[in-house]
Chains A and B, each alone.
Chain A
Amino acid sequence: MNKTIQRPGDTIFRGTAVAAATTILVTLAAVGIFLTIKGIPGMTASPEEVKHGTTFLAYVAPLVFGTLWAAALALAIATPVGIGVALFISHYAPRKLAGPVGYVIDLLAAVPSVVFGAWGIMTLAPAMRGPYAWLEDNLGFIPFFAGPASATGRTMLTAALVLAVMVIPIMTALCREIFLQTPRLHEEAALALGATRWEMVRMAVFPHAKSGIVSAAMLALGRALGETMAVAMVLSASGVVTFNLISSTNPSTIAANIALSFKEASGLTVNALIATGLVLFVITFAVNFVARLIVTGPNRAKAAKS
């Protein structure tokens, strides 16, 4: 048995890599521990001891609903748009146009969320008042548009639209990369059968990109769930649970609620807010975990077969 020669470069690199990986795990664990320790008193506090005056469960339930509802809406809007833009860049646009469009989309991802919030409050919300009134009048029989339409336009739908604009760059960038990786062989196979461009996309590109699209959507969902500033600024919230998209009473989201309430909170109320943070932490974790499962599941099975 001869011993492998240890080179100093290898040892140093290995050390730094292990240290970096450990730091991430330690940080994550530290956040989890902090949230749990500080949060538990908030969860167990009686209604008299906290500002919101209810049990923790009654307090957090509408927030969880609002968080999931806003994120789901944002995703429902952003997914088709993101896929469409990515497809345009990867398969439809002439090369001269595809580059700049992709670049602009990437820039959009770098805009701070406060800016989106300001845009939502000052431009989008007032602009949406008309459409909301129209939706109430014409589609009011659908619970989503039951109204009464908000006078400010600061509704759940507006918040979801702002969130959608924020996550579209992520969706687009990821989808574009996956679409570009479609094997040329399969694209040509479809074209040679007399497929139009769109038929080729459906035959060759989408089947190849399916799991990638799901993971892109899940990453986008992760961002939408945790987004704070834009929602805090745009949404006019009042702890209710409603599917109504266009009224002025909306459920808040966990992140926005923490941002808005933290300054004025003291004592056990702070603990309760941190506990809501723990709930968000768990939700985000679960979403990422599910995304992992979806993405690696079928691929692993395929790799094992071939």
Chain B
Amino acid sequence: MAHQIEVSNLNIYYGDFLAVEDVNITIEARSVTAFIGPSGCGKSTFLRSLNRMHEEIKGARVEGKVMSNGHNLYDSAMDPVDVRRQIGMVFQRPNPFPTMSIEQNVLAGPRLNNKRLKKSVADDLVEQSLTRSGLWNEVKDRLNKPGSGLSGGQQQRLCIARAIAVEPDVLLMDEPCSALDPISTSVIEDLIHQLKDDYTIAIVTHNMQQAARVSDNTAFFNLDGVGKPGRLIEHGPTEILFSTPSNPATEAYIQGRFG
């Protein structure tokens, strides 16, 4: 079930370059935590370190602890494959598998764990996942059509369905609406609201209004200058961070004076 993630003293590197420095934060269960900040501040890098996707980039590594469900995700005994099955991810650009149908896309993850999924179980899972991602009514008559034939917003919801079909505890979203039009964006935002009843959600966004609309907690990242590591400046309940930020840089960013 959904549980919180505790990050302590996390340093994230690309080779020798320290990209994100000394992050300490607790991401609460069954709530939405937004990461905001200017470009290059390391918010996406930090998000990707939460399910060990960061290390898929050559030379990338991490120091520190990320505790989830009593395990350190970076423990040497921890398999990144298992980490990612518990902590799913939705990307910036919708990325359904182009050669697979809508149904196959949803079942891609479950089929990894269980090769011989019973037809009835699979059908239920497809309906359940697509219903929760709000796509079922739009695609129920064309489950065998390719996922790439859907609109951008529908594709992104298909990706969300694909991610939750694996039944993860946590859902990471890396600017999930940045490639979408306003209407699709609002559909996804409503969806995030519904999903937080069951999942711990962390979302990176460039859009401060979006952070204010969807999140319960907000974390502001910043960097001192080009070539300097990004740092977590402050974090807390979204209303408080947006109304009375304690750090002048946070206030400046929220008011749109830079970024």
Mask of B205-240 contacts with A, CB within 8 angstroms, 1/0: 000000000000000000000000000000000000
Complex: A199 Cα to B110 Cα, angstroms: 12
The residues in A between 144 and 197 inclusive whose CB is less than 8 angstroms from any CB of B are 183, 185-196
Q: Spot the interface stretch: B92-100, B127-135, B182-190.
A: B92-100
Complex: A203 Cα to B97 Cα, angstroms: 8
Complex: A196 Cα to B111 Cα, angstroms: 12
Complex: A18 Cα to B249 Cα, angstroms: 63
In-complex Cβ contact of A186 among B58, B84, B95, B162 (8 A): B95
Q: Does any Cβ of B come within 8 Å of A306's Cβ? A: yes
Contacts of B82 in A (CB 8 A): 194
Mask of B80-93 contacts with A, CB within 8 angstroms, 1/0: 01101100110101
Contacts of A306 in B (CB 8 A): 148
Q: Does any Cβ of A come within 8 Å of B51's Cβ? A: yes
Residue of B nearest to A195 (CB): B112
Mask of A267-306 contacts with B, CB within 8 angstroms, 1/0: 0000000000000000000000000000000000000011
Evaluate contact between A190 and B58: CB separation under 8 angstroms. Answer: no
Mask of B235-250 contacts with A, CB within 8 angstroms, 1/0: 0000000000000000
In-complex Cβ contact of B85 among A95, A186, A194, A305 (8 A): A194
Shortest CB–CB separation between residue B84 and chain A, in angstroms? 4
Q: Does any Cβ of A come within 8 Å of B163's Cβ? A: yes
Contacts of B85 in A (CB 8 A): 193-194
In-complex Cβ contact of A194 among B56, B97, B166 (8 A): B166
The residues in B between 86 and 141 inclusive whose CB is less than 8 angstroms from any CB of A are 88-89, 91, 93, 95-100, 108-109, 112-113
- Most B Cβ at <10 Å: residue of A191, A193, A203, A305: A193
Evaluate contact between A191 and B56: CB separation under 8 angstroms. Answer: yes
Complex: A30 Cα to B108 Cα, angstroms: 54
The answer to whether residues A207 and B99 also contact, given A188-B56, A194-B109 and a CB cut-off of 8 A, is yes
Residue of A nearest to B96 (CB): A189
Residue of A nearest to B93 (CB): A185
Q: Does any Cβ of A come within 8 Å of B18's Cβ? A: no
Q: Does any Cβ of A come within 8 Å of B159's Cβ? A: yes
The answer to whether residues A189 and B159 also contact, given A194-B112, A194-B113, A203-B97 and a CB cut-off of 8 A, is yes
Shortest CB–CB separation between residue A219 and chain B, in angstroms? 23
Evaluate contact between B84 and A193: CB separation under 8 angstroms. Answer: yes
Complex: A188 Cα to B97 Cα, angstroms: 11
Q: Does any Cβ of B come within 8 Å of A204's Cβ? A: yes
Q: Does any Cβ of A come within 8 Å of B67's Cβ? A: no
Evaluate contact between B56 and A193: CB separation under 8 angstroms. Answer: no
Contacts of A192 in B (CB 8 A): 51, 53, 84, 88-89, 91, 163
Complex: A77 Cα to B163 Cα, angstroms: 39
The answer to whether residues A194 and B163 also contact, given A189-B97, A203-B108 and a CB cut-off of 8 A, is no
Q: Which residues of B does A touch, CB under 8 Å?
A: 51, 53, 56, 58, 81-82, 84-85, 88-89, 91, 93, 95-100, 108-109, 112-113, 148-149, 159, 162-163, 166
Q: What are 16 A-B residue pairs whose CB atoms fall within 8 Å in the complex?
A: A185-B93, A188-B95, A189-B162, A190-B108, A193-B85, A193-B109, A194-B112, A194-B113, A194-B166, A195-B81, A203-B97, A203-B108, A207-B97, A207-B99, A207-B100, A208-B99
Having A183-B95, A194-B85, one finds 10 other A-B pairs with CB under 8 Å, namely A95-B58, A189-B96, A192-B88, A192-B163, A193-B84, A193-B88, A193-B108, A203-B108, A204-B97, A207-B98
Closest 8 pairs between A and B when the two form their complex, measured CB to CB: A194-B85, A193-B109, A192-B89, A207-B99, A185-B95, A194-B84, A189-B95, A194-B81
